[in-house]
Structure 1
């Protein structure tokens, strides 16, 4: 009686089972690796102190999904960059989105609240995959992070460092690293060109006009984030030589008179119309405020070197790919 084939069949069956198990293990490993590859890690130092307290920084790390289906954005600079990289935003504080960034919104974008207060009920109902905050909206982190992965892309360090970091990160999130790298390179080249122009332009003074009053803008110094960084952009990023060595000390703060402009007599005035940026009703335009006999005696006025900067770009957004190009073009106007 021939009995040998049976053990061979059993061995073949066992081998098939082993191969199947090995294949399943490979599939699981591949799926696990793919899952790991489909997130991007973002780490920053988050201020956990109350507004009136001394800053208390806590390292915060968030895993962000790649190619998220729904993104909610409270930071206008990030809205700008997401749109510039071909993405779109599902929700934002719609009343605060500048006209030139409307194309970054989805056609059915929902209103997520304001820059300071989120509509938590609506956001949770929309089930976003990623929420981006920064600057004015940074205080919203605790509430929003309970709904979806939330990252703070506010300004930290220099303008260019922040722009590179955030654009690189968003490029990874959107799966378009090459376009992000190209955008950063183009902006850096534009800033370098602007710096070459300002280096030969003489002195300058950044000026904020609001409610008929003037405020001198100063280099950021140690205040390299938020309000200080925004006011110092014309000097710190674009290389304008301040008309006085220490503007803040010379002005005893920020408010200045028309006489201060004549006394310091900068070669160039770089003007931001804050009321235009915030759409203040009934406000007098900055050009009208500066059209007086005192200002007309300054070198900047007589040499036609009073430059009006895009108020939305410089005051509201001051970051992001498209906005950075607007700012570069504003500075390069003195080369015309």
Structure 2
């Protein structure tokens, strides 16, 4: 018996060692899997308005974990459709009727209709099992319903336009593994904006205005402490440095109503015009901005005489309002003043 005990003891020790090695290997693999999962996820934090529709805004910090390189992205926010495509990605689902023509190539070949900018098709979205849902602006109120289907984040403009553009472009660069492309895009846009600023400054003072339903509305710079998102036409001042002809225009999303006589009296060097009806598809005969401004009073202004009435891309400045390609369209619009 005694001659067998050493062998038995050795066998026991060998089995124990193998078992421990197996446990260590399993633990190491589990830790590796956890680390890998953490590397594959991003976190996105924003201040979400949790107040009811008719209540004063109340913001709550919200953080969502987002998978890297998501296979299926649903985007209700058009500037996200823009930037995702510009960085080499594609969008699997969106409110298809609201996607502008110049962003159609950013949709997957089999892209599905996710609803409208205000109402999501929850049944279709859930059936498609997306990895990520993006909202913003008009669609921000969809958060609660959509977040039950997939990770949902709000990438709408908050603060200044340029800060949000940088935040979103950098985020998508990390999300899609296109960090270098995102960095280059931001560098190119900043250079373009600087060039456009120079051209706008050389052109003198200006007035941003919106034409809708045959009526004129003057736009103002963003009020102190507010982001450019609050005053759409204000981007011409806040981003491109145009000196406002009038300082005390009422800050409102859709502008302060003015008359043709107002234009003649204040006589801005340049008119920067957004045709809202063209942007929304609500244009009626005779209400196009160029037609509305084709009258004897406007023809007496310096802007008309100097050929300084610049018609801005209505979709870029009013609907999409952000994103890489859209910002380039804005730059090109402003550079018209140097032609």
Q: Is the 8 A contact 2:41 2:65 kept in 1?
A: yes
1:186 alignment partner in structure 2: 188
- Structure 1 window deviating more from structure 2 (180-189 vs 77-86): it is 180-189
CA positional deviation for 1:15: 2.4
- Deviations 1:155-179 (Å, cap 9, x if unpaired)? 1111110001111112222122221
Q: 1:226 and 1:95 mapped to 2: Cα distance? A: 26
CA 1:82–1:126: 2 relative to 1, 3 Å = same
CA drift of 1:226 comes to: 7.4
Aligned runs of 1:246-285 on 2, under 5 Å?
246-248=248-250, 254-283=256-285, 284-285=287-288
Q: Distance in 2 between matches of 1:308 and 1:231?
A: 12
Inter-CA distance 75–40: structure 2 relative to 1 (3 Å threshold)? same
Q: Using the alignment, how far apart are the partners of 2:80 and 2:3 within structure 1?
A: 77
Which of 156, 179, 184 in structure 2 is aligned with 1:177?
A: 179
User: Paired residue for 1:233?
Assistant: 235
For 2:47 and 2:305, how far apart are their aligned partners in 1? Answer: 47
Which residue is equivalent to 2:84?
Answer: 82
Partner of 1:22: 24
CA distance in 2, matches of 1:225, 1:152: 16
Which residue pairs with 1:136 in the alignment?
138
Q: Deviations over 1:48-88 (max 9, x none)?
A: 11222111111111111111111111000111011111111
State the distance in 2 between where 1:11 and 1:50 align.
67
Displacement of 1:9 after TM fit? 4.0
Q: In 1, are the aligned partners of 2:159 and 2:229 still within 8 Å (CA)? A: no
CA distance, structure 2, for counterparts of residue 58 and residue 278 of structure 1: 32
CA distance in 2, matches of 1:172, 1:322: 18
- Give the unaligned 5+ runs of structure 2: none
In the alignment, which residue of structure 1 is the partner of 2:292? 289
Size of the aligned set, in residue pairs, is: 333
Match of 2:250, SS state, is helix
Residues 274, 317 of structure 2: 8 Å contact kept: yes
**CA distance change for structure 1 residues 312 and 56 in 2, over 3 Å: closer, same or farther?**
same
Q: Cα RMSD between the aligned structures?
A: 1.7
Give 1:209 shift: 0.7
For residue 19 of structure 1, report the CA deviation from its aligned partner. Answer: 2.1
Conserved in 2, the CA contact under 8 Å of 1:64 and 1:130?
yes
Distance in 1 between residues matched to 2:51 and 2:12, nearest whole Å = 68
Do the aligned partners of 1:153 and 1:166 also contact (CA within 8 Å) in 2?
yes
**SS at 1:154's partner residue?**
coil
**Distance of 1:270 and 1:312 partners within structure 2:** 15
CA distance in 1, matches of 2:19, 2:34: 22
Is it true that 1:322 corresponds to 2:333 in the alignment? Answer: no
What is residue 105 of structure 1 aligned with on the other side? 107
Could you tell me which residue of structure 1 aligns to residue 160 of structure 2?
158
| Structure 1 residue 111, shift from structure 2 partner | 0.7
| TM-score, length of structure 2 as denominator length | 0.94
- Indicate conservation of the 8 Å contact 1:212/1:289, yes or no: yes
**Deviation (angstroms), 1:314:** 0.4
Q: Would you say the 8 A contact 2:222–2:228 is kept in 1?
A: no
Instruction: Report the alpha carbon displacement of residue 184 of structure 1 after superposing the two structures with TM.
Output: 1.5
| Structure 1 match to 2:336 | 333
Q: 1:248 aligns to what SS in structure 2? A: coil
Q: Compute the displacement of 1:194 (Å).
A: 1.4
1:2: how far off? Answer: 5.2
TM-score of the aligned structures, taking structure 1 as reference length: 0.95
Once residues 90 and 157 of structure 1 are traced to their aligned partners in structure 2, the CA distance between those partners, rounded to angstroms, is 29
- Unaligned runs of 5+ residues in structure 1 are none
